[in-house]
Amino acid sequence: MSNPLRIWLVSEGITDYLVLKAAIEVMLNGRTFDLKLLQPDDSVAFTGQGQAGTLGGGWSGVLKWMRDSVGRGGQLSNDPVLVNTDILILHLDADVASVLPAENNDRGIDGLVSDLPCAVNCPPASATTDRLRTLMLKWVGETQTPANAVLCTPSKSTEAWIIALFSPADKEMIRRGFECHPNPASRLAVQKKGVKFPKSEKEYLSRYQEIMDGWNWLVEHLSEAQRFQNDFVAAARTIP
């Protein structure tokens, strides 16, 4: 019997962690795994107090982690973090491509003026996510994704996946496109009674099995879910 697959995750937040963990369970189809949340810092992220650790949460926390990775190894492929795990997942929602650096000076990040925004017209979602993924590699000192690293770029956020699962008939999402609506999270709060729920660890955890059950449907209907599955499964197959 093989050892549990060691998977480390750098993500924007706890709800993203839960969605991706559910997806991983389905994709591994019974293969055991240990999923460690590196960012936000898992030592404080699960306390229920909204803490994220020294780097902070959200996209800026992910970017700071990437810059720290370059500081540790010069590039991600030389970072001891990558060397000591089976698979490292780097997650950023595609709405990061629309960030205006001048409006985010309070995040403690500089040097983004030449990088962001990089969003282009959607559809297709890939027109923007391809650009964002190129930036992610630049931010970790790479030109190609290392063999045991996987990029995950839901468009425009993991909430697009959640809305597609729980409110597939949402007219606004259908009109603009589930992967093109600029703020899918805003649609969670305006659903009818019994479907509406807030974006929170508690609510996502209570729907964990439903997310698992719907993952294959998401892969069939949303291109970035499909790309994440293809890349993750390919990486997992290389690990005995």
Q: Which residue has the tokens 């960030």?
A: 99
State the pTM of this model: 0.94
What are the structure tokens assigned to 155, written together?
């468009």
- Counting residues of the chain whose pLDDT is more than 90, the rounded percentage is 79
Lowest mean per-residue pLDDT among 103-112, 125-134, 166-175: 103-112
Confidence of residue 155 (pLDDT cuts 50, 70, 90): very high
Q: Cα separation of 33 and 72, whole Å? A: 26
Domain ranges of the chain: 5-158+211-237
- Counting residues of the chain whose pLDDT is more than 70, the rounded percentage is 94
C-alpha angle 16/20/22, rounded to 5°? Answer: 120
Summary mean pLDDT of the chain: 93
Burial (0-12, 13-18, 19+ Cβ within 10 Å), 39: buried
Residue 5 has what pLDDT?
A: 97
Coil vs helix vs strand at 227: helix
Residue 103 has what pLDDT?
A: 84
Residue 48 has what pLDDT?
A: 58
Confidence of residue 42 (pLDDT cuts 50, 70, 90): low
Q: Are 188 and 199 in contact (CB under 8 A)?
A: yes
Report the half-sphere exposure of 129 (CA within 13 A, side-chain side): 24
191 compared with 156, residue with greater pLDDT:
156
Average pLDDT, integer, range 63-80 = 95
